[in-house]
């Protein structure tokens, strides 16, 4: 940086920033054309956080031009969804929108910042559900959460599902689109079948290759990055060659996608693996994830199982105290991040659901202000 009589241009970028990827192509051309007089370098803030902190980089893409070690000019990106926002108290809190709550959500005061819907519930060509979704999209920002794409399936993503998802994205313009790091599709007697659930992946290069290929194809069709969620897994594989966090981090680096961080899934996995202090497991897990790749957080509660039985992520209850503790840790690590209350079975009243969201808001304000 202290090169004498030479210009230095630094491009700060993130793997989950589509604008960064496009700018990177132009940057490389400039670097090649003016290499005799310009030292041009790219800094991935997911991997080189200290340099970004040194230059106080808070958004991406950011370009800094130096001469003799002094900053001459700076261009700052303004993409909030990729912003660490460590000192920000801005926060979006949302709830899952399910059919029993349609009327209340559309008629009562707006007390949440967004709603999230399951994409597959609106794949029909028309009907009452789509009409309700149109009304919701006029009232709230929408997070579109898919559950059936099977992004980790070796058979690939099903074209008909991708087309329906793309059509829905074009219709309601969601601010987030997501699915899971899971397997769902396979062929039996040459017939493609869906498992009806989110099946876990082995954390190895073979699974990673399939997942990356499918995510890249989906993002190509949607023309934007997606978020991929960590799942609750009730079996583990003997052929794992990396940790879950290394697996998911590699996914973000290779595809440019972000992560949907489901904290209850982490607690469920820790509990089922008989980890004595689940919150310590969650803390270590969070510290292993790059600062800039988490685009949304899910909070949920589940039914406590009898002793000796598996805990199931059934989204049937208030957020547990352990998950609230995990949420505090996540906010300290990643800053303000769109946060959703998931409640899918044993549904409460709309007022109870909104009250849970308000609790998330109070906790986030407390943490982010400290």
The answer to whether the peptide bond before residue 325 is cis (omega within 30 degrees of 0) is no
Q: How confident is the model at residue 87 (pLDDT cuts 50, 70, 90)?
A: very low
Tokens for 38, please give them.
Answer: 């310009």
Instruction: Give the length of the chain.
Output: 370
Q: Is there a contact between 233 and 226 (Cβ–Cβ < 8 Å)?
A: no
User: DSSP states of 268-328 as a string?
Assistant: HHHHHTT-S-HHHHHHHHHHTS-TT-EEEEEEEB-PPPPTTS-------BPPPHHHHHHHH
Q: Is there a contact between 90 and 84 (Cβ–Cβ < 8 Å)?
A: no
If asked whether residues 37 and 165 sit together in one domain, one would say no
If asked whether residues 71 and 107 sit together in one domain, one would say no
Distances 299 to 20, 113, 142 between C-alpha atoms, Å: 30, 15, 17
Q: Within a domain: residue 86?
A: no
Q: What is the pLDDT of residue 90?
A: 58
Q: Within a domain: residue 255?
A: yes
Q: How far apart are alpha carbons 360 and 96 in whole angstroms?
A: 14
Who wins on pLDDT, 188 or 111?
Answer: 111
Q: Is there a contact between 2 and 69 (Cβ–Cβ < 8 Å)?
A: yes
Q: Within a domain: residue 334?
A: yes
Q: What is the pLDDT of residue 17?
A: 62
Q: What is the pLDDT of residue 84?
A: 40
**Listed range (70-79, 133-142, 171-180) with the worst mean pLDDT:** 70-79
Give the pLDDT mean for 150-173. 92
Domain closes at, from 54, 81, 108: 81
Give the pLDDT mean for 84-92. 51
17 belongs to the catalytic site: yes
Side-chain-side CA neighbours of 201 within 13 Å: the count stands at 32
* Domain extent at residue 36: 7-81
Tokens for 116, please give them.
Answer: 């999230």
Give yes or no for residue 318 having a pLDDT over 90. yes
**Active-site hit among 20, 212, 257, 302:** 20
Tokens for 326, please give them.
Answer: 């995990």
If asked whether residues 97 and 146 sit together in one domain, one would say yes
Q: How many CB atoms lie within 10 A of CB 146?
A: 23
Q: What is the pLDDT of residue 282?
A: 97
Can you give 116-140 as a three-state secondary structure string?
EEEHHHHCCCCCHHHHHHHHHHHHC
Give yes or no for residue 279 having a pLDDT over 80. yes
If asked whether residues 317 and 227 sit together in one domain, one would say yes
302 belongs to the catalytic site: no
Who wins on pLDDT, 340 or 275?
Answer: 340
If asked whether residues 119 and 11 sit together in one domain, one would say no
232-262 burial, b at 16+ Cβ within 10 Å, e below that, comes to bbeeeeeeeebebbebbbbbbbbbbbbbbbb
H/E segment holding residue 180: strand 176-180
* CB neighbour list of residue 201: distance below 8 Å, 6 or more residues apart: 152, 181, 182, 183, 207, 211, 247
H/E segment holding residue 142: strand 142-145
Q: What is the pLDDT of residue 287?
A: 97
Q: How many CB atoms lie within 10 A of CB 19?
A: 15
Q: How confident is the model at residue 3 (pLDDT cuts 50, 70, 90)?
A: low
Give yes or no for residue 18 having a pLDDT over 60. no
Domain closes at, from 34, 58, 81: 81
Give the pLDDT mean for 200-211. 94
Tally of structural domains, the chain: 2
**Active-site hit among 16, 17, 257, 302:** 17
Q: Within a domain: residue 196?
A: yes
If asked whether residues 36 and 65 sit together in one domain, one would say yes
Q: How confident is the model at residue 80 (pLDDT cuts 50, 70, 90)?
A: very low
Q: How confident is the model at residue 89 (pLDDT cuts 50, 70, 90)?
A: very low
**Listed range (42-56, 116-130, 138-152, 234-248) with the worst mean pLDDT:** 42-56
Give yes or no for residue 81 having a pLDDT over 50. no
Q: Taking the complete model, does pTM exceed 0.85, yes or no?
A: no
**Listed range (139-143, 147-151, 306-310, 337-341) with the worst mean pLDDT:** 306-310
If asked whether residues 152 and 224 sit together in one domain, one would say yes
Give the pLDDT mean for 42-50. 79
Q: How far apart are alpha carbons 72 and 258 in whole angstroms?
A: 32
């Amino acid at each position: 940086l202290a090169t004498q009589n030479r210009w230095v241009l630094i491009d700060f970028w993130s793997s989950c920033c589509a604008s960064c990827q496009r700018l990177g192509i132009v940057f490389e051309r400039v670097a090649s054309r003016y290499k005799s007089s310009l030292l041009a370098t790219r800094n991935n803030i997911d991997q080189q956080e200290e340099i970004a902190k040194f230059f106080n980089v808070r958004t991406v893409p950011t370009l800094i031009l130096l001469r003799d070690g002094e900053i001459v000019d700076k261009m700052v990106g303004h993409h909030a969804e990729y912003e660490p926002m460590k000192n920000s108290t801005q926060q979006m809190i949302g709830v899952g929108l399910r059919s029993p709550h349609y009327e209340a959500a559309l008629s009562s005061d707006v007390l949440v910042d967004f709603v999230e819907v399951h994409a597959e519930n609106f794949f029909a060509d028309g009907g009452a559900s789509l009409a309700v979704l149109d009304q919701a999209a006029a009232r709230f920002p929408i997070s579109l959460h898919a559950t059936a794409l099977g992004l980790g399936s070796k058979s690939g993503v099903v074209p008909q599902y991708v087309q329906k998802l793309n059509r829905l994205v074009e219709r309601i313009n969601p601010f987030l689109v997501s699915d899971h790091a899971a397997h769902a599709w396979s062929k039996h007697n040459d017939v493609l079948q869906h498992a009806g659930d989110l099946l876990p992946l082995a954390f190895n290069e073979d699974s990673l290759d399939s997942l990356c290929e499918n995510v890249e194809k989906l993002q190509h069709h949607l023309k934007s990055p997606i978020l991929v969620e960590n799942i609750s897994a009730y079996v583990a594989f003997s052929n794992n060659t990396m940790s879950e966090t290394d697996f998911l981090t590699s996914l973000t680096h290779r595809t440019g996608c972000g992560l949907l961080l489901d904290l209850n899934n982490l607690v469920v996995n820790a509990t089922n693996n008989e980890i004595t202090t689940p919150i310590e497991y969650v803390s270590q897990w969070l510290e292993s994830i790059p600062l800039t790749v988490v685009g949304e957080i899910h909070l949920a509660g589940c039914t406590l199982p009898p002793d000796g039985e598996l805990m199931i992520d059934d989204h049937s209850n208030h957020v547990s105290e352990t998950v609230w503790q995990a949420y505090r840790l996540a906010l300290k690590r990643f800053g303000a991040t769109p946060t959703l209350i998931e409640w899918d079975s044993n549904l409460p009243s709309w007022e109870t659901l909104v009250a849970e969201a308000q609790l998330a808001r109070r906790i986030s304000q407390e943490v982010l202000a400290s």
